[in-house]
Structure 1
Amino acid sequence: MISAPSAALVYRWTDHTINPPGEARSILRRVLKELGLSDDVISDGVLAVSELVANAHEHACGPYEVHLRSVAGRYICEIHDGKPLLPTGLYLAAVASPEATASEAVSGLLTERGWGLHIVNELTQGQWGFQVTDWGTKAAWVVLAEASAARKPEAARRDGRAEEARRSDVLTKQSS
């Protein structure tokens, strides 16, 4: 189970927020740059997270939050919403064979809309999903990058503990 307090709060929005995906992209891009992630990792991660933010805003209820944490050498971004039910049937159309009939494809939720989850799957190489939180609500999650990939060349020469402390400081700043 996911427990949000162990993660840094990056962004919070409500049902009345005008453009949550755009705001989340902007804020997350800045945070990931501060962590030293590569431009490719940032671009892929920001796009994947913005798709999940859009889905939460459209299909769930608030409160909504985006959290970022580093666990076991990986950066994981979580998109929390107030809906307690995990989605079902989300990827049926995505795994349908190219030879599937139209009626078979229509049976999935990813027919005319919902291509964002295909994008999320591709960008994260399948490292994403949904879980129930400790509070009985839902969180979508994506693995953004290996934390070791965040090291810039000058940081790689520093003591490993100092670099970990720096990353921890960046995440802590986002929580306050």
Structure 2
Amino acid sequence: MRDGGQVLIWRWTGRTHHDASQCRVALRCALHELRIPDETIGEAVMAAWELTANALEHAHGPYEMRLIRKRSSFIFEIQDSNSFLPAMPSSHNGGAKTLMELPERGRGLQIVEAFARGRWGFRPSGGGAKVAWMEILTASGGAGVAKR
């Protein structure tokens, strides 16, 4: 997969059975095949699952998970059919809130923030859809990778 290349991991509808476990397995396998270091895969799957769980809870299918190759990273995307773009939490990009200060809901985005270190967000995707995305740095990746 060359820089800028995209791979579809999985596409499913709201009627797909066991979608949660299938999503995690599909992403884990894709990251493994792309030679993401094992120590990164577990954290990446956990953070990506939080974005996916939000899509499953707040939008209807169809859903689509993708990975896009960048120089020293991959961009994970989850697209859903809801055009509403959530507000970014105040902790985004290094805010001072801790897990203990957050309300019961929204803690999953803290996991995304901790993993992606501000390199994540939401964007419209046309046709009444939106994409939640986050960057997964590879072992050779460093700080300063441009945001999408």
Is 2:89 aligned against 1:91? yes
Larger radius of gyration: 1
Percent identity over paired residues: 40
Q: In structure 2, what is the Cα distance between the partners aligned to 1:51 and 1:97? A: 19
Matched residue, 2:120: 128
Q: Distance in 2 between matches of 1:146 and 1:86?
A: 28
Partner of 2:63: 64
Q: 1:41-79: CA deviations, max 9, x gaps? A: 111111111111111000112111101110243211100
1:45 alignment counterpart: 44
- Range with greater deviation from structure 2 (40-49 or 71-80): 71-80
- Give the 3 Å change call, closer, same or farther, for CA 97–8 of structure 1 in structure 2: closer
1:111 aligned residue: 103
Distance 2:116 2:21 in 1: 20
Deviations 1:93-112 (A, max 9, x none): 774657xxxxxx7xxxx511
Consecutive unaligned residues in structure 2, runs of 5 or more? 142-148
Normalised by the length of structure 1, the TM-score is: 0.66
Q: Could you say what secondary structure the match of 1:61 adopts? A: coil
> Quick one: structure 1 residues 72 and 111, their matched pair in 2 at CA, closer, same or farther if it must change by over 3 Å?
same
One-letter code of the match for 1:86?
L
- For 1:68-79, what aligned pairs fall within 5 Å after superposition? 68-79=67-78
Deviation by residue 1:109-130 (Cα, 9 ceiling, x = unmatched):
x511221111111011221110
**CA spacing shift, 1:119–1:8, aligned 2, 3 Å:** same
Match of 1:138 in 2: 130
> Which one has a larger percent helix, Structure 1 or Structure 2?
1
User: Could you say if the C-alpha distance between residues 63 and 93 of structure 1 is closer, same or farther in structure 2, counting changes exceeding 3 Å?
Assistant: same
Is the CA contact (8 Å cut-off) linking 1:20 and 1:53 kept in structure 2?
no
Q: How many residues align?
A: 133
More strand by share: 2
Runs of 5+ in structure 1 lacking a partner?
Answer: 1-5, 99-104, 150-176
Would the aligned equivalents of 1:93 and 1:111 in 2 still touch at CA under 8 Å? no
SS in 2 for 1:133: strand
User: TM-score, normalization: structure 2?
Assistant: 0.78
